[in-house]
Chains A and B, each alone.
Chain A
Amino acid sequence: MGVVKGDQMILNIGPQHPSTHGVLRLEVMTDGEIVSEIRPHLGYLHRCFEKHSENVTYEQVIPFTDRCDYLAAMNSNFGYVVAMEELMEIKVPERVDYIRVIMGELNRIASHLLALGVYGLDIGAFTPFLYMLRDRERILDMFEYTCGARLLYNYMWVGGVSHDLPKDFQKICIGFLDYFEPQIEEYNNLLTYNKIFVERTADVGVIPADVAVSYGVTGPNLRGSGVKWDVRKDEPYSIYDRFDFEVPLGDGHFGTLGDCFDRYWVRMLEIKESVKILRQALKDIPGGDVHQMLPKKIRPPKGSVYRRTESPRGDLGYYIMSDGTPTPYRVKMRSPAFTALSVLDEVSRGWMISDVIAILGSLDIVLGEIDR
């Protein structure tokens, strides 16, 4: 006689569901309300950006990278151009490095603000989301002022950036930082110390450090588990070795080390560190030309390079292979959100369905980057 498993059910979350942050389908096997297995189905946004890249020139790949991680397009550009410059062994003018760091860190703040705000929204806190989007909007305004685009910038080019900073950019940016820094305390009062929020996130979805490393989880998710790993510190690229900043780690603030709250909290602390970097960069930025003289068609020497950079979501790696022609032979993007999503199944087992939403939100995934 077989056992009738009357409580078992398969629940489909998505493809169109607000808490999947894009077009993602989760096939959730449940026993009553306890999750026993999750099978993510990806590929709804797959455009095969890697195949496209093999048919265009090296510069034309940059707009594609914008559209992968559309919430942190500056950082996507940044990773690609850093990898290209390593492949071609060129150095960019100092001003360009400073501009890139400023843009990268501003975009990190913008991306984290959205991540934190939407996370609150997932769990049922609507108000903080509006406050955070209000401030994110001011960062997007600065981007628009600099390069004309609000989300998809195509700003960083190999060997330079597309436009120099506007003359009064420094003043505007410092004004923004002076306004923004006290706001962080406001977010904390609105969301972080909220009892309901803490109850929903603390002790939920713990990722132990060894599991995180084995699953290739990186960025704030890895640091939330207490592993000190930040590409900006450990494999410095561009000019990140010049700045003085801390790498915030999760410490089991309200619960266990590596729970959803720690991942949330690390992001909040990282915003403060980004502000620190921005203040230093804005103070020290030198003058000069922002367009390194490069031929119209770039022909890197034969060879390959793998370079990773720290995007808001983690280690964003590019594997670029050149055969000496103006089109790339192979471009591979190692997407941090892709690896973060892969851990969902293991972490969610044994939790309730409503906790899965909390865990998924805490991983901060962007589907454009997962599906590429």
Chain B
Amino acid sequence: MTSAEIKAAIESQHPGTIVEREDLADHQVELKRDQWLEMATFLKNDPNLSFDQLECLTGVDTGEEGPLETRYNLHSMEHRHKIEVVISHDRENPKVASIEQLWRIGDWFERETYDMYGIVYEGHRDMRRILCPDDWEGWPLRKDYEGQESYHGIVVPKMKEEDGWE
């Protein structure tokens, strides 16, 4: 199926879940955050869609005032079609349902995005940092991230605008 047909299938089965957005490309679709788990189950289990592979999960910080986003690249091994699902998060309190039990790789992908953006995936059975140490402060890939001065007595080098690394 093409992206337009996939979107039409979502719209006909679950009307009102797609969020209208001008700035997204054809292969992307934004879904409502509070219905994500239900929609993910539908996308995976519907025989016409059967997205059985979660290719990639990317966190995005859209800027100072903008929301955080999680982007799911889904692919179907059976039908060989794909779609990118965008979920927006409130910047102050980013939360969304976890899809870790649907696609098992979601476990580590969500931990990584939590580690980098502080987005909490509710229902995840092991929500810990994965790449940074457990006691690291802040969310490194957010645009407003300020690195900590020192970590257990080790000075953390900082990037300066003009001169490069200190």
Give, as a whole number of angstroms, the nearest-CB distance from A55 to chain B. 6
Closest to A372 in B: B131
A306 to B85, CA, bound (A): 12
Nearest-Cβ distance from residue A106 to partner chain B, whole angstroms: 27
The answer to whether A213 has its CB under 8 Å from any CB of chain B is yes
Shortest beta-carbon distance from B52 to chain A in Å: 5
- Nearest to A334 among chain B residues (CB) is B56
Q: Secondary structure of the A side of the interface?
A: mixed
Task: Report Cα–Cα, A216/B82, bound state, in Å.
Answer: 15
Contact assessment for B54 and A216 in the assembled complex, using a CB-CB cutoff below 8 Å = yes
The reply on A308 being an interface residue by CB < 8 A is: yes
Residues of B103-148 at the interface with A, using a CB-CB cut-off of 8 Å, are 103-105, 107-109, 116, 129-133, 140-141, 145
User: Complex: how many Å from CA A43 to CA B108?
Assistant: 13
- Complex Cα spacing A346 to B54, Å: 18
For the complex, is A321 an interface residue (Cβ under 8 Å from B)? yes
Say yes or no: is B84 at the interface (Cβ < 8 Å to chain A): yes
Residues from chain B with Cβ under 8 Å of A240 in the complex:
none
Interface presence of A27 (CB below 8 A): no
Instruction: Kindly identify which residue among A46, A211, A216 contacts B55, using a CB–CB cutoff of 8 Å.
Output: A216
- B:41-72 near A, CB below 8 Å: 52-56, 58, 60-61, 71
B25 interface hit (Cβ, 8 Å): yes
Q: Are B130 and A339 in contact (CB under 8 A)?
A: no
B154: CB under 8 A from chain A? no
Q: A216 is contacted by which of B71, B103, B132 (Cβ under 8 Å)?
A: B103
Interface flags, B65-102, vs A, CB<8A=1, else 0: 00000010100010010001000000000000000000
Q: How far is the CA of A306 from the CA of B145 in the complex (A)?
A: 25
- A306-B55 contact given A214-B104, A216-B105, A319-B71, CB 8 Å threshold: yes
Q: Which of B77, B104, B131 contacts A215 (CB 8 A)?
A: B104
A213 to B131, CA, bound (A): 23
Known: A214-B52, A216-B105. A321 touches B60 (CB 8 A): yes
Q: A55-B159, A330-B58, A332-B58 are in contact. Are A234 and B80 (CB under 8 A)?
A: yes
B105 touches A214 (CB 8 A): yes
Q: Are B108 and A339 in contact (CB under 8 A)?
A: yes
Are B55 and A334 in contact, CB atoms less than 8 angstroms apart?
yes
**Minimum CB–CB distance for B12 against chain A, Å:** 26
Is A197 close to B, CB under 8 A? Answer: no
Q: Is the CB of B56 within 8 A of A306?
A: yes
Residue A51 is within 8 A (CB to CB) of chain B in the complex: yes
Which residue in A46, A215, A303 is a CB contact (below 8 Å) of B105? Answer: A215
A51 pairs with B140, CB closer than 8 A? yes
Q: Which of B56, B80, B109, B141 has the most CB of A within 10 A?
A: B56
User: Smallest Cβ distance from B152 to chain A, in angstroms?
Assistant: 15
CA–CA, A215 and B132, complex, Å: 22
By a CB distance below 8 angstroms, the chain A residues around B103 are 214, 216
Find the residue from A48, A214, A315, A346 having the highest chain B CB count within 10 A: A214
Determine how close the nearest CB of chain A comes to the CB of B130; give it in whole angstroms: 6
Indicate if the CB atoms of A216 and B53 lie closer than 8 Å: yes
User: Which single member of B52, B60, B73, B133 contacts A43 (CB below 8 Å)?
Assistant: B133
Contact B107 A342 (CB under 8 A): yes
A227 at the interface (CB under 8 A from B): yes
Q: Are A213 and B56 in contact, with the CB atoms below 8 A?
A: no
Shortest CB-to-CB span from B137 to chain A, Å, is 14
User: What CA separation (Å) do A227 and B140 show in the bound complex?
Assistant: 37
A229–B52 CB distance below 8 A? no
B55 contacts A330, CB within 8 Å? no
A273 CB-CB contact with B under 8 Å: no
- Interface residue A262 (Cβ < 8 Å from any Cβ of B): no
- A46 to chain B: closest residue by CB: B131
1/0 contact string of A298-332 vs chain B (CB within 8 Å): 00000110101000000101010100000000101
Q: Report chain B residues within 8 Å CB of A306.
A: 55-56, 58, 73, 84
Chain B residue, CB-CB nearest to A235: B80
Pairwise interchain contact A48-B104, C-beta atoms closer than 8 A: no
Task: Report 7 cross-chain contacts, Cβ distance below 8 Å, ordered by A residue.
Answer: A43-B131, A48-B141, A306-B55, A306-B58, A308-B56, A315-B55, A317-B56
A contacts, CB < 8 Å to B: 42-43, 46, 48, 50-51, 55, 210-211, 213-216, 227, 229, 234, 303-304, 306, 308, 315, 317, 319, 321, 330, 332, 334, 338-339, 342-343, 346, 371-372
* Chain B residues proximal to chain A, CB less than 8 Å: 25, 28, 52-56, 58, 60-61, 71, 73, 77, 80, 84, 103-105, 107-109, 116, 129-133, 140-141, 145, 159
Further 19 A-B residue pairs, CB within 8 A, beyond A51-B141, A319-B71? A42-B130, A46-B131, A46-B132, A50-B116, A50-B141, A210-B52, A213-B52, A214-B104, A216-B53, A227-B77, A234-B80, A303-B25, A306-B55, A306-B56, A306-B84, A308-B56, A317-B56, A319-B73, A330-B61
What are the 6 tightest A-B residue pairs by CB atom distance, in nearest-first order? A216-B105, A334-B56, A43-B131, A46-B131, A214-B104, A332-B58
